[in-house]
Amino acid sequence: MKKVILVVFLALGLSQVSNAQINFGIKGGINYNNNGDLTLSSAGNDIINGADSKSGFHAGVWFRGKLPILGLYLRPELVYTQVKSEYTYKSAATDYDFKKLDVPVLLGKKVLGFGNVFIGPSFQYIIEDNFSFSDLSSDDFDKFSVGMQMGFGVEFGKVGLDVRWERGLSDSEARFTDNNTNITVDNRTNQIIFGLSLQL
């Protein structure tokens, strides 16, 4: 169902901008992600509250086409993202990091001639995840999820700067097992993203 939603959004977006001038470029930047709770079932279902954020990065491409209504534009992106979070259990720090492909489909509007605001769904596919607790990794996790991005930015010629907030909307968990300990991580995205883009 989630894949169908992604295809529908992309199809609608491309149909709307197919007759318009399409700009495109590259982008990159820094991410600060906070995952949700971590649960250890063998320890009496101990719950460790949300992770402490650590910096990650992203890089990708973007496209933008004007829509024939109210001066709006559509901006789909394809972005590779690597994020990391840290949990603390019994005074020991444990890193959880994952690599994913993001496809935000943003609806935006320019303001004041050089600024813009935007909002839209973001579809993510997790390529790989690693948990530093005994260097665990697992295929038993929800690889595809849907979130929402919103933010604002400024543009100076072909260079753009933006900041956005992303929050995962669909339930998404990663599950690991080590020495009969079942570990579950709520890996819904909750991150602040700082980006730099260049129009080609």
pLDDT digits (tens, 9 = 90+) for 53-98: 677 899 999 999 988 888 899 999 999 999 877 776 666 667 777 7
160-161-163 Cα angle (round to 5): 140
Distance between CA atoms of residues 156 and 145, nearest Å: 34
**Residue of 130 and 32 predicted with greater confidence:** 32
43: confidence class by pLDDT, cuts 50, 70, 90 = low
Task: Concatenate the DSSP letters of all residues of 7-42 into one string.
Answer: HHHHHHHHHHHTTS-EEEEEEEEEEEE----EEEGG
pLDDT at 36 over 80: no
Lowest mean per-residue pLDDT among 18-27, 108-117, 130-139, 166-175: 130-139
Percent of the chain with pLDDT over 70: 66
pLDDT at 127 over 70: yes
Show the tokens assigned to 173: 């968990």
pTM of the shown model: 0.77
pLDDT at 107 over 50: yes
Mean of the per-residue pLDDT values of the chain: 79
